Structure 1
């Protein structure tokens, strides 16, 4: 993976960005802002962005990223239903991960990385299998935690974002790269806001 900055080329590529990529970026921005505000509307918004992004990634031969979007779609439907579920098994409010959640998250990230690397090197012509698989597996873990409405989802998603930024840029997906940079910044504030809400709720319970 080669990474170099050329301002002129960047401007040219932005000007030539496909409409579908702009649409994917717009819905991606809306989704993360809604997630930061803890709004369930992040899911229908995200589904539209996922469908647009899937086509773009497949066209760029980022197959693990494409599989990631398929996983996003499944987890978005699951998360949407889980957030609406007011029973004990649902995720009607923010919570912290327990030891079981932590173990499952590590399992998703670790096993996912190995599985995706094997798939990429065996069945595709991917030229960045290690990095592509890592970005996808850590994001899988983050999306699972988001569907569970766990605070730590922001940490795992930002591990994925941090590596995805130069990967997407190197593939000349400039707008998606900048979107991921934006997501990285917003995820920091999302983590802080969710943690603040949790702290305030814990303090309120202690005074009852």
Structure 2
């Protein structure tokens, strides 16, 4: 069993394997902090995604590289949003997505999917099954990251969908550690949604009583 999983790394440099493990650990920590609505979600996520951008560039996995590059950028934006306060009150508390944000989410999905398709066509990368799945997952994750930066509870729904698809996707690419990471991500995302829902309900109840 061990040989089956780790045989995928036989042609990888030890340095890259260590980097992937570090990125996985920090990625899991980032999702855990997101579950706790803790600002540390962003610095841990930025380091993890920075490492992945390097590794995925090296392995010519362009779609995944763009996802992580976007994560890094949105982490900077999310860090800014989460720390903004107005009259001592957090400007972006946990909330429900608005109709305008639903439309924006759809536009993000369409644009990112089209962009990834264009990149894969340009580099002639539509030669494996996971190249097609990448186009879908990229759009899903782009929405999830944008909604998390805005502190919208629905971000967890998109993370769960994307994580479930990514488990076999990354295993098929030969990245066992990353595939396992998405198993953990899925579990934490479910609990994250429940925890944010509880916080949202409490704040709404407090507003009613006020």
Taking structure 1 as the reference length, what is the TM-score of the superposition?
Answer: 0.90
1:185 to 187, 193, 208: 187
- Once the two structures are superposed, residues 108-157 of structure 1 have per-residue CA deviations (whole angstroms, 9 ceiling, x without a partner) of 11221122112212234353332111111110010000000000001111
Runs of 4+ in structure 1 deviating by more than 3 angstroms, as ranges, are 11-17
Residue 203 of structure 1 is matched in structure 2 by: 205
Contact persistence 1:91–1:148 (CA under 8 A): no
Residue 105 of structure 2 is matched in structure 1 by: 105
Q: Using a 3 Å threshold, how does the CA distance of structure 1 residues 49 and 126 change in structure 2: closer, same or farther?
A: farther
Contact persistence 1:121–1:129 (CA under 8 A): no
**Are 1:115 and 2:115 matched, yes or no?**
yes
Contact persistence 1:30–1:42 (CA under 8 A): yes
- Once the two structures are superposed, residues 57-116 of structure 1 have per-residue CA deviations (whole angstroms, 9 ceiling, x without a partner) of 22333211100111111100000001111139x753111101111111111112211221
Q: Which deviates more from structure 2 when the two are superposed, residues 96-105 or residues 125-134?
A: 125-134
Structure 2 residues not aligned, in runs of 5+? none
Question: Hey, what's the Cα distance between the residues in 2 that align with 1:124 and 1:43?
Answer: 34
Contact persistence 1:65–1:135 (CA under 8 A): no
Query: Would you say how many aligned residue pairs link Structure 1 and Structure 2?
Result: 202
Taking structure 2 as the reference length, what is the TM-score of the superposition?
Answer: 0.89
Post-superposition offset of 1:181: 1.2
Question: Hey, what's the Cα distance between the residues in 1 that align with 2:123 and 2:59?
Answer: 16
CA RMSD of aligned residues (A): 2.0
Question: Hey, what's the Cα distance between the residues in 1 that align with 2:108 and 2:124?
Answer: 22
Structure 1 residues not aligned, in runs of 5+? 1-5
**Are 1:10 and 2:35 matched, yes or no?**
no
Residue 80 of structure 1 is matched in structure 2 by: 79
